[in-house]
Amino acid sequence: MENSGIVTLTRQAGLLREMQTVANNIANISTAGFRAEGVIFAEYVAQLEGANGGSLSMANASGRMIRMQQGDIDPTGGSFDFAIEGEGFFLIQTPEGDRLTRAGSFSPSATGELVNPDGHMLLDAGGAPIFVPPDVENVSLARDGTLSADGRPLALLGLWQPVDPADLSHRGGVQFAVDGEMQPVLEGATILQGFIENSNVDPVGQIARMIEVQRAYEMGQGFLEREDERVRGFLRAIGSTQ
């Protein structure tokens, strides 16, 4: 394959990956706590073999970025619905290890622990599960994150974030893993009771981006088809002279 075809194929692969990312963002417009993602394109330069040497510049779209802007916060009135206003994530315990999330819809399990809809336990500021007695009538959350039941403190809700933002990686749905160390968020954030943070996906922007990516992909596909026809025509011409 000629160099022009290789360069176009790497670009097409990156555009396809971005199209999948944009489609996933649009599919999660209504998912509480969802964080939109984007694809980062970079230049990859490969050295060419042969007497002339030289190099070939190609597209590399293996990087991803997570959009961390605040999503809209809507009231629900639920005693165990929490929204983060500011930085930070809730810490939940999953079979794959501890995960971060902005989705704050929880409920007491059959054994009293606060869990999310997937059954993963919410952890407090010390990394321990939060237990809610079954006979409580009034659950309240103070501004400092103290969760109380009938006037008795139960736990201190903790907010966490990665020490290095680059260590945050999306693990499907509304969960994130941290490849490095985590640290508590001590200021600049408030937990609101009776509210849920919506997805931070910009619907208009994402649909517009999908159209742009689709047009760019179609343009590259057209180039590959014309290049294929050119090569076929050349081979037919060579064959007819022999």
Instruction: Tell me how crowded residue 54 is: count the other CB atoms within 10 A of its CB.
Output: 10
Does position 182 have pLDDT exceeding 60, yes or no? yes
> Given this model, what pLDDT does residue 235 score?
66
Does position 239 have pLDDT exceeding 80, yes or no? no
> Given this model, what pLDDT does residue 2 score?
61
Instruction: Tell me how crowded residue 29 is: count the other CB atoms within 10 A of its CB.
Output: 16
| Nearest-angstrom CA–CA distance, 158 and 182 | 12
> Given this model, what pLDDT does residue 191 score?
94
Does position 49 have pLDDT exceeding 80, yes or no? no
Q: What is the pTM of this model?
A: 0.81
Tell me: the pLDDT tens digits for 77-135? Answer: 999 999 999 999 999 999 999 999 999 999 999 999 999 999 999 999 999 999 999 88
Does position 51 have pLDDT exceeding 60, yes or no? no
Residue 226 or residue 160, greater confidence: 160
> Given this model, what pLDDT does residue 9 score?
73
Does position 1 have pLDDT exceeding 60, yes or no? no
> Given this model, what pLDDT does residue 48 score?
64
> Given this model, what pLDDT does residue 45 score?
66
> Measuring CA to CA, how many Å separate 105 from each of 15, 47, 63, 122?
35, 52, 30, 10
> Given this model, what pLDDT does residue 197 score?
97
By the 8 A CB rule, do 22 and 14 touch? no
Residue 11 or residue 31, greater confidence: 31
Q: How confident is the model at residue 218 (pLDDT cuts 50, 70, 90)?
A: confident
> Measuring CA to CA, how many Å separate 50 from each of 54, 55, 74, 85?
9, 11, 63, 59
Average confidence score pLDDT of the chain: 86
β-strand partners of 113: 131
Does position 27 have pLDDT exceeding 70, yes or no? yes
Tell me: the pLDDT tens digits for 155-171? Answer: 999 899 999 988 999 88
Q: How confident is the model at residue 188 (pLDDT cuts 50, 70, 90)?
A: confident
Tell me the percentage of the chain whose pLDDT exceeds 70: 82
